[in-house]
Structure 1
Amino acid sequence: MSHERQDSGGQDSGRQASGRRAVLIAGPTSSGKSALALRLAERHHGTILNADSMQVYRDLRVITARPSKEDEARVPHRLYGFVDAAENYSVGRWCADAKAALDAVWREGRLPILVGGTGLYFKALTQGLSAVPPTPEETRAAVRARCDAEGAEALHAELARRDPVMAERLKPGDRMRVARALEVLEATGRSLADWQRDGMPAMLDAGAATGFFLVVDRAELARRIDVRFDAMLETGALDEVRALAERHLDPMLPAMKAHGVPWLRRYLTGEITLTEAAEGGKADTRRYTKRQVTWFRHQMPGWTWLEPEAVLEVATREVAG
């Protein structure tokens, strides 16, 4: 049942209440985040800011289900489709771009509405980001090679001798995080814990940011994923992936790993049928939504979990209050 109510004074109240406030809308892929953000922005004089790590790439409008040009004409949108697929866009760069966008939206007297499914973006926005400098590729490669040869437990034992604070935080078998802690220590001479302590502060005051995570029945979400993937195929996703493949970019770049892209590339090279590619893309997306739900549940305490139709009503009260 819909909890929406009409509010003829919504835009005026949004202007008055926006100040340094913001509304954050997260949720699994295909949960209706963009449509909800659009309705909220129209009601409260808002600007929509992208918080999805794949929708930043200009090459991927269709396959990442970016807002349509018609939707972008209805309210201002920022941070969509402005990065080339050849770039390895990072959470640190997004933080810098998001800060500039937030400041601009607030100066305009509008309400920023950040929407997306990338948990690390929201965590950095509300909890800050560590200031770890880039690790030289040769250092990273050397540590990963040692991890392959000696095992994560051996590297954890070394970390315990050299950086007991980080070793205490990590499980001996956590290969990725143990290697990361050791490579930062090798590259900088400082503990990763020290860098995290001295990192970038949160960009939003906790009391002024309202976060919502959209809850959708699992079977319904799976149905939406299937419908959306089929619709993307009908509206140019294959041409988009073909154009991307013709650039011969590094397959490890983030844009080359967007859901559906690897499967459709395999179809284009004749390895599999289009039906197999579509099923593979849909299955990957379904698995990703499960990880999104688990990650937000553990990493973002204090957010309000609601069905999409209930968020507009609750958000309206928060913005007006």
Structure 2
Amino acid sequence: MSSLKELAKLLSVSISTVSKALNDAKDISEHTKFRVKELAEAMNYQPNKMGAGLRNNKSKTIGVIIPDILNSFFAEVLFGIEKQCSEKGYDTIVCISNEQTQKEAEKIKLLKSGSVDGFIISLAAQTIKTGDVSHITNQIHKNKLVLFDRLSNQINCDKVSVDDQKITYEVTKRLLEKGYKKIAFLSSINNLNVGKERRIGYLKALREAKIVYEKKLELSVQSLSNMHKKLRSWAEKNDFDAVLAADNSSGIMLENCLLSIKPFKTKNIKIIGFSNTKNALLTFPKMNYINQNAENIGKKAAILLLNRLDSEKMDYPFIDAKIKAKIHFF
């Protein structure tokens, strides 16, 4: 592997010229840039990011903290973040909070010790429940933070999410327009801001259509560990013609449950949940779903953070970006 000094010697130019050419400096001619980059590629030159970071006070690394790595939604968001950061020459380091505030605080401290330039975070369930975000506001400058999906009004920074209330309102309204009257609501995330917003949208559509809300048609389960038993009992006791699942797992579980206990009625029950194309294929028949466009959420979060980090004036108004979700009915 070659060095800047070796490249400069072979090209009979200064080390400074080689460095500027590799970084597309405006005061270097296109001919020189071409010569430098051609030789650098031929000699497999790899820039020393640590050294560059020390010189310009930037590590070109972004810290990402998510609450659950097993959730396919967060995996898709990570894909979008990494893709966008990579295109801009940034690396990403990912940490998992496991839904715990203490771990979230520890991961922030860990990433800061490694001198990341900024943070992209989706809040842990415990942090949302307690409302205590001091471990974030005390450690991360607001201009170096983007929150996605799970947000907090107590943190003033750039944010990216889907308009959860609007999309569940639209879905419920479309189900009503299609003639479904007994629409149930199923959720394992009512403790989160996204779950609460989705429930509000559902109730709003029922209220506008003058459909009486039936408490028995709503099932909230806090843990997936006991969901099978509760789901089966609830499905056996209640009659509904449609179900809106507020997360990306309970809808699939219900579809499979109904095939077991109500095989002849299942085809007449419309189920729609938050999911993606791949997960929708896990049920038969294929489940209707709301695609949050998770990859685009990740890309947008990265764009907002990198734009602010690369801006000469970081202190401009914060952006609350809404990514458009798409409804898929089959």
TM-score normalised by L of structure 2: 0.32
Structure with greater proportional helix content: 1
Q: Which has the larger radius of gyration?
A: 2
Structure with greater proportional strand content: 2
- Structure with higher RCO (Cα < 8 A, 6+ apart): 1
TM-score normalised by L of structure 1: 0.33
